[in-house]
Amino acid sequence: MTKERGKRGASHREADGRTNLTRRQALAAGFGLAAGLVSAQAQAQEWWQQLPGFASFTDPNSRERRPRQQTPSDILDDLREGTMPLRSQEMLGAIGDAIERVERVVAEGGWPIIPGNRMIRPGDEDERIPMVRRVLVLWGDMRPQHGFRSLTFDGELEAAVRRFQSRHGLRVSGRVDRPTLQALNVPPAARLAQLRMNQNRIRDLLPLKLDDRYVLVNVPGFQAEAVSRNSVERRHRVIAGKPDRQTPVVTASIRALNFFPYWRVPESIANLDVIPRLVKEPDYLQKEHIRVLTGSFVGPEIDVTNIDWRTVDSKNLRFRQDPGPHNALGLVRIDMPNEHGVYMHDTPMKPLFEQRSRAFSAGCVRVQDVFDLAAWIGRDEAGMSRERVQDILQGGQPVDINLARPLPVAFVYVTAWVEEDGRIMFRPDVYGRDQVRELASDREHDPDAPPMPRETLAP
First to last CA, the chain: 37
Q: What is the pLDDT of residue 439?
A: 77
Q: Quick check: do 2-192 and 210-441 share a fold?
A: no
State whether CATH 3.40.50.1000 applies to domain 210-441: no
pLDDT along the chain (459 residues), means of 10: 38 36 42 32 42 38 39 68 96 96 90 92 95 92 78 94 95 94 94 96 95 96 97 98 95 97 91 91 91 87 89 89 93 97 95 92 96 96 93 94 96 96 93 84 57 63
Q: What is the pLDDT of residue 195?
A: 97
Say if CB 254 and CB 335 are below 8 A apart. yes
CB within 8 A of 107, min separation 6: which ones? none
d(CA 185, CA 43): 27
Say if CB 199 and CB 326 are below 8 A apart. no
The domain segmentation of the chain, as residue ranges, is 2-192, 210-441
Burial 156-191 (b: 16+ CB within 10 A, else e): ebbbbbbbbbbbbbbbbbbbbbbbbbbbbbbebebb
d(CA 329, CA 365): 10
Say if CB 157 and CB 129 are below 8 A apart. yes
CB within 8 A of 102, min separation 6: which ones? 188, 191, 192, 195
Across the strands, what pairs with 223?
218, 237
Residue type, 376: W
pLDDT tens readout for residues 319-368: 999 999 889 999 999 999 999 999 999 999 999 999 889 999 999 999 99
Q: What is the pLDDT of residue 298?
A: 83
User: Phi and psi (nearest 5°) for 294?
Assistant: -110, 135
HSE (CB half, 13 Å, CA atoms) of 223? 22
Q: What is the pLDDT of residue 75?
A: 61
Say if CB 399 and CB 392 are below 8 A apart. yes
Say if CB 381 and CB 401 are below 8 A apart. yes
Say if CB 9 and CB 22 are below 8 A apart. no
Say if CB 438 and CB 190 are below 8 A apart. yes
Do you know the residue count of the chain?
A: 459
Closest by CA to 249, choosing from 433, 426, 392, is 433
d(CA 134, CA 439): 21
pLDDT tens readout for residues 225-236: 999 999 999 999
State whether CATH 1.10.101.10 applies to domain 2-192: yes
Q: What is the pLDDT of residue 175?
A: 96
Q: What is the pLDDT of residue 404?
A: 95
